[in-house]
Chains A and B, each alone.
Chain A
Amino acid sequence: DAGVIQSPRHEVTEMGQEVTLRCKPISGHDYLFWYRQTMMRGLELLIYFNNNVPIDDSGMPEDRFSAKMPNASFSTLKIQPSEPRDSAVYFCASSPTGSNIQYFGAGTRLSVL
Chain B
Amino acid sequence: DQQVKQNSPSLSVQEGRISILNCDYTNSMFDYFLWYKKYPAEGPTFLISISSIKDKNEDGRFTVFLNKSAKHLSLHIVPSQPGDSAVYFCAASVPGTALIFGKGTTLSVSS
Q: Which residues of A does B touch, CB under 8 Å?
A: 4, 33, 35, 41-45, 48, 56, 91, 93, 100-107
Most interface-central of B45, B98, B101 (chain A CB within 10 A): B98
Q: Which of A41, A48, A56, A103 contacts B46 (CB 8 A)?
A: A103
- Report yes or no: A42 in contact with B102, Cβ–Cβ below 8 A: yes
Segment at the interface with A among B12-20, B36-44, B72-80: B36-44
- Report yes or no: A43 in contact with B101, Cβ–Cβ below 8 A: yes
> For chain A, what secondary structure do more than half of its interface residues adopt (helix, strand, loop), or is it mixed?
strand
6 contacts between A and B (CB under 8 A): A41-B103, A42-B103, A43-B89, A101-B34, A104-B43, A107-B41
Ranked 3 nearest A-B pairs via Cβ = A104-B43, A42-B103, A43-B101
Q: A104-B45, A106-B42 are in contact. List 13 more A-B contacts (CB 8 A).
A: A33-B98, A42-B104, A43-B44, A43-B101, A45-B99, A100-B34, A100-B49, A102-B46, A102-B99, A104-B36, A104-B44, A107-B41, A107-B42
Q: Which residues of B does A touch, CB under 8 Å?
A: 32, 34, 36, 41-46, 49, 89, 93, 97-104
Measured between beta carbons, the chain B residues less than 8 angstroms from A41 are: 103
Which A-chain residue is minimally distant from B38 (CB atoms)? A104
Whole-angstrom CA separation of A87 from B58 in the bound complex = 38
Measured between beta carbons, the chain B residues less than 8 angstroms from A107 are: 41-43
Measured between beta carbons, the chain B residues less than 8 angstroms from A106 are: 41-43
Measured between beta carbons, the chain A residues less than 8 angstroms from B36 are: 104
Q: Which of A56, A91, A93, A102 contacts B97 (CB 8 A)?
A: A56
Which B-chain residue is minimally distant from A43 (CB atoms)? B101
Q: Which of A56, A103, A104, A105 contacts B98 (CB 8 A)?
A: A56
